[in-house]
Structure 1
Amino acid sequence: MIRQTAPCDLGAIEARDRIRSGALSAFELADSCIARVEAVDPAVNALVARDFDTFRERAREADARQAAGLPLGPLHGLPFAVKDMIDVAGLPTTYGSEIFRTNIATADDPIVTALRQAGALPIGKTNTPEWSAGANSRNRVWGTTANPYDLSLNCGGSSGGSAVALACGFAPLATGSDTGGSLRTPAAFNGVVGFRPSPGVVPGHSRSIATLSITTAGPMARSVADCGLMLSVMAVADRYDPFTTVTDGGTPWKSQSFADLPRTDLTRLRFAVTEDFGFAPTEGATRATFRSVMSDLAPFLPKIDERHPDCTGADRIFAVLRALLFLGAHDRYVLEQPEHVGRNVTDNVIEARGYSAADVAEAMYAQSAYYRLWQDFFETCDYLISPTVTAAPRDWHENAPLEIDGHKLDSYYHWLALAYASTIAGHPAISIPCGRYPNGLPFGLQIIGRRHDDLGVLAVAAQLESLIAGVSTLAPEAPDLKGLMAAPPLSSCHGFLEVE
């Protein structure tokens, strides 16, 4: 990615290595990140809560630790941004909900604890739609987050603030979470990397239904290797997540391996490609861009077939399981304080109330069959490639697309079908920047692997990323930072806080 030369523009691995060598201090990196936030964030509104005095103090402590010759963690001195769905002690955790507008966290979420113990420093909280409901990062507490490539457009969600913070150089790492594409969609829209791991690889303490694995946290960064480094710290043994297998204090996956990705020979691998999984409402512009991108990549991937797993019933399965999550977590808010609950959350709760026990049982049985069909498919395929999102970013005033190419959508999340196709089966998936739409906006390529082949997905993505960087039509480009610095505050725009 073509970037500026300030310390805040360094990738995580490069910044960490410079700090360890003495070429850069943690304080200098922190100060650079703060300066970038203050210069650019008024235009995009990504980092919605921060305490820069404490952030600077933690950076000084990191430098003092290094000067004293004490052991340094693998993320020593690296700033990271935190999605406003998990706790950072002393900062607000609002979930984008008016009900929690004044909520201040008293302790760190386990993910934040793990990152701190590895030496990373939280810079602040990033914007999200209310309760992560949707792929447009707007809410009544913090307002809208805009796409840094075009401030009139949607930045994606629900980890939209994290993706924009990365794209703009606010921090080299950020946390995100993903149910129906909440890591992958904003990564695609903002030219960064978002990785959804297999269930249990990153333990989750905040799922309202612990045994329903369609939601997981994951890393976000500006490169695949940086995502792997972050994942190596997040992927800990934790019995509180029923999908995290813990034996003799460890897990079957070796966390450290994520920080040192192996090289892989793409010519030996069997790839499948699909524009729509047979059911996703993919727009014509996305299909055309995907074909163009794959044409440029084809010389490097000799074993490609156009096919996809059987995704029969995907929309219905995802709708019912998603509704269960919202009913369990938010029904009381809709009942007791409906005036403080937004449209998306309310619609999901109302939808859930309409399902019967038979509907739930049918969806769970269908998910089991769906999962097995995906396992059959991956017996003859190593990795599956698709667009990350069905449609390009739209006007951020629009809650969600109501139609794509003239075809009416079933719900506000139906346009995320390319992402939730793999969510239902529980397979790891990553979005990497690859090429551009005709209007110059970043295009996201999704790579999916076998369940628990997280290391393989990251390794393949890293190899593709290195190839993409050498192809002028595909190589990512950073947003126009000077233009963002000169832009009026997003908060002055009509509709900034007018969220349905």
Structure 2
Amino acid sequence: MNEIQQMSATALVAAIRRREVSAREALDAHLERIEQVNPEINAVVTLDPERALADAEAADRRTVSGATLPPLHGLPMTHKDTHAVAGTRSTSGSRIFADHVPVQDDAIIARLRRAGVVSTGKSNVPEFGAGSHTFNDVFGTTTNPYAPRLSAGGSSGGLAAAVASGIQPLGEGSDMGGSLRIPASFCGVVGFRPSHGVIPTPPPGDDWAWLTRTGPMAREVSDVALFMFAVAGPSPRVRPPAPVTGSDFTGPLLGDLRGVRVAWSPDLGLGLPVEPEVLAVLEGRLRVFEEAGAIVEEATPDLTDAEEVFRTTRALDFAAALGPLVREHRDLVKPEVVGNVEAGWALSAREIVAATGARTRLAAALRAFHARYDLLVSPAAQVLPFDARLRYPAAVDGVEGTGYLDWMRSACALSATGLPVLALPAGFTGSGLPVGFQLSVDHYRDADLLRLGKAFEDRTRCVDRRPEIRAGTGQRVRPVTTVAAR
């Protein structure tokens, strides 16, 4: 990687502001890195270099004009392919939308562009973002920069691979049941699932949806804070507004772990199987918290209601969002999506009422837990990156699963709580595969969570280790230049 490709987003934006690096030079480095590594990992699936060049040149004119510069001024960025970018092919990894070119940006894209981002294309996703392994029938499989025959995770797997490999330092993903956290753990980067409404992106037709969150992924916690400063804030569609805005993420991240009450839970009290190598890395890193002055105990909130809350809410959301597509194009939709939609259609009023009661009990359990503990620490993923040819792991540590969600339960359980969660690199196995924690705090303590994460990051510096991607180690797939509306 060259010097620009190694920069954090914070450093690169600052260099552009100081005119040490131009937005055009940043874009050239970004496109060069895609050319170098993307054939091995298939992270970026659509490119629009002409549009990106025009935007970069406009950014450079603004730099010298004396105008006020936005917080992400000149930063090149591909976007998750489940997010619509006006004029750029946006497929959601589905054959139904293989040639779809939206005319309007999704809310998160509009915010990023107002913040100064130079949009360059799209990163790969599983079909409709369903599942934590990134493959689809339109673009194929995204693989892991640390081992390009293994999974990069998902659904923000294309983004995770792009960030880890130096294509870009920062980007936006989304997370229903671990779609930021699992790929962050697999690829050794940081993923952040904010509290509800902090980045308000409700789906069409449901302003009250709460399970899926939009959030950033980066190599460093400070870049996550920069992203939140740039895009967090209220939307007229989400009421009442969240009590956290972009201004809460300004200033230096001066984290301090002294006196922080940390609960370590290897299985979230649910008996979840976790691969021994994952636990070995994470348990070895608990001493980092202790040496920094934290009080670490093995404990967990009562999450017995979490699975009912997650599965019921997920099924309802899938039926609402994708039900019409499944009815019309069932043969073009992968079976996991069809199964989730059908689960939503099959829910009875009794089951929906029961899930409401379960969510109420879960909230009470979390209030009791956070009266005693400040921070919950648990595995971000139950498994190491697995063979990318699989659809999903059939078993975890010898325990057979019953479906494609079972190997993701450590992430799904925390999604059900609604808490903000930060996936953070913790270390590497003996064979060099990344392993990550997920850290969670009470509702709307998002900025505090980033400070605590930064304090851990400063003591481990996992960010300083980067993958070496060699030709011939992965699949050779080139990004497709978009058919754009001009």
What is the TM-score with the length of structure 2 in the denominator? 0.94
- Corresponding residue number in structure 2 for 1:286: 278
What residue identity is the alignment partner of 2:249?
A: F
The answer to whether structure 1 residue 181 and structure 2 residue 178 are counterparts is yes
Q: Secondary structure at the match of 1:164?
A: helix
**Residue 277 (str. 1) matches residue 268 (str. 2):** yes
Q: Superposition pairs for residues 153-192 of structure 1, below 5 Å?
A: 153-192=150-189
Task: Tell which deviates more after alignment, 189-198 or 285-294.
Answer: 285-294
Segment drifting more, 306-315 vs 330-339: 330-339
One of 445, 450, 468 as aligned partner of 2:437: 445
Structure 2 counterpart of 1:95: 92
| TM-aligned CA distance change 1:68 to 1:212, over 3 Å | closer
Give yes or no for the alignment of 1:372 onto 2:369: no
Match of 1:264 in 2: 255
Contact 1:435 1:476 in 2 (8 A): no
Q: Percent of pairs identical after alignment?
A: 34
Name the CA distance, whole Å, in 1 between partners of 2:472 and 2:148: 12
What is the Cα deviation at residue 59 of structure 1? 0.7
CA distance in 2, matches of 1:49, 1:475: 27
Q: CA RMSD in A?
A: 1.7
Partner of 1:402: 394
CA contact (8 A) 1:261 1:458 kept: no
1:288-327 alignment to 2 at 5 Å? 288-327=280-319
| Residue pair 1:137, 1:145 contacting (<8 A) in 2 also | yes
Rounded Cα–Cα distance in structure 2 between residues aligned with 1:100 and 1:462: 39
Mapped partners of 1:445, 1:223: distance in 2 = 14
Residue in 2 aligned with 1:496?
none
- Corresponding position: 1:355 with 2:341: no
Given candidates 166, 177, 192, the residue that maps to 1:195 is 192
Matches within 5 A, 1:240-251: 240-242=237-239, 245-246=240-241
Q: Cα offset for 1:53?
A: 1.5
Compared CA separation, residues 314 and 476, structure 1 to 2 (3 A): farther
- Give 1:490 shift: 3.2
Q: When the two structures are aligned, how many residues end up with a matched partner?
A: 477
Q: How far 1:476 moved relative to its partner?
A: 5.0
Larger displacement relative to structure 2 (334-343 or 259-268): 259-268
Q: Give the distance between the partners of 2:37 and 2:96, measured in 1 at CA.
A: 29
Q: Which residue number corresponds to residue 33 of structure 2? A: 36
Quote the residue 1:490 is aligned against: 476
**TM-score between the two structures when normalised by the length of structure 1:** 0.92
CA contact (8 A) 1:270 1:381 kept: yes
Residue identity in the other structure for 2:71: P
Q: 2:331 aligns with which of 330, 333, 339?
A: 339
SS at match of 1:268: coil
Cα distance in 2, alignment partners of residues 148 and 262 from structure 1: 28
SS where residue 267 of structure 1 aligns?
Answer: coil
Distance 1:351 1:373, change over 3 A: same
In 1, Cα distance between equivalents of 2:315 and 2:37: 37
Range 260-269 or range 440-449, more displaced: 260-269
Contact 1:228 1:261 in 2 (8 A): no
1:479 to 462, 467, 483: 467
1:220 to 2:206 alignment: no
Q: 1:79 to 1:475 in 2, by over 3 A?
A: closer
Counterpart CA distance in 2 for 1:94 and 1:404 is 32
Is 1:385 the counterpart of 2:377? The answer is: yes
Aligned letter for 2:268? F
- Matched to 2:399, the amino acid is H
**Does residue 407 of structure 2 align to residue 415 of structure 1?**
yes
Q: Once the 2 structures are TM-superposed, how far is the Cα of residue 261 of structure 1 from its aligned partner?
A: 4.2
Using the TM superposition, give the Cα deviation of residue 43 of structure 1 relative to its aligned residue in structure 2, in angstroms: 0.9
Q: 1:124 is matched with which residue?
A: 121
Distance 1:105 1:489 in 2: 29
Contact kept, 8 Å, 1:44 with 1:145, in 2: the verdict is: yes
Q: Once the two structures are superposed, what CA deviation does each residue of 1:121-178 show, in whole Å capped at 9, x if it has no partner?
A: 1121111101111001001111110111111111000000011111111122111000
Q: How far has the Cα of 1:463 moved from its partner?
A: 1.1
Q: Distance in 1 between matches of 2:288 and 2:444?
A: 29
- CA displacement, residues 333-377 of structure 1 (integer Å, 9 cap, x when unaligned): 222221100021012122233321111111121011111111110
Q: Residue 296 of structure 1: CA displacement?
A: 4.7
- Name the CA distance, whole Å, in 2 between partners of 1:487 and 1:441: 15
Question: Residues 90, 417 of structure 1: CA spacing in aligned structure 2 closer, same or farther, 3 A cutoff?
Answer: same
User: Is 1:62 aligned with 2:54?
Assistant: no
Instruction: After TM superposition, give the deviation of residue 311 of structure 1 in Å.
Output: 0.7
Residues in 1 aligned to 2:9 and 2:294: alpha-carbon distance in whole angstroms = 32
Tell me if structure 2 keeps the 8 A contact 1:275–1:287.
yes
Residue in 2 aligned with 1:141? 138
Deviation, structure 1 residue 79: 1.3
Equivalent position amino acid for 2:376 in 1: L
Q: 1:170 is paired with a residue of what secondary structure?
A: coil
On the 8 A contact 1:434/1:476 being kept in 2, the answer is: no
What is the one-letter code of the residue matched to 1:105?
P
Deviation of the 1:305 alpha carbon: 0.9
In 1, the alpha carbon distance for the partners of 2:252 and 2:189 equals: 18
Considering Cα pairs closer than 8 Å and 6+ residues apart, tell me whether 1 or 2 has the greater RCO. Answer: 2
Aligned partner (choices 220, 231, 237) of residue 234 of structure 1: 231
The letter of the residue matching 1:269 is V
Query: Which runs of 5 or more structure 1 residues have no equivalent in the other structure?
Result: 493-500
Match in the other structure for 2:23 = 26
> What SS is found at the alignment partner of 1:462?
helix
Do 1:97 and 1:341's aligned partners in 2 also have CA atoms closer than 8 Å? yes
Q: Distance in 1 between matches of 2:18 and 2:448?
A: 31
Alpha-carbon separation, structure 1, partners of 2:445 and 2:463: 26
> CA shift at 1:285, angstroms?
2.3
Give the superposition deviation at 1:401.
1.2
Unaligned runs of 5+ in 2: 479-486
Does residue 431 (structure 1) correspond to residue 427 (structure 2)? The answer is no
Q: Which residue of 1 aligns with 2:481?
A: none
**Structure 2 CA distance for aligned equivalents of residues 377 and 57 of structure 1:** 52
Alpha-carbon separation, structure 2, partners of 1:486 and 1:70: 46
Find the aligned partners of 2:89 and 2:202 in 1 and give their Cα distance. Answer: 18
CA distance in 1, matches of 2:406, 2:209: 20
Q: Structure 2: how far apart are the matches of 1:11 and 1:414? A: 35
How far off its partner does 1:253 sit? 1.9
Range with bigger deviation, 147-156 or 352-361: 352-361
Deviation, 1:202, is: 0.3
Task: Verify the 8 A CA contact 2:267 2:273 in the aligned structure 1.
Answer: yes
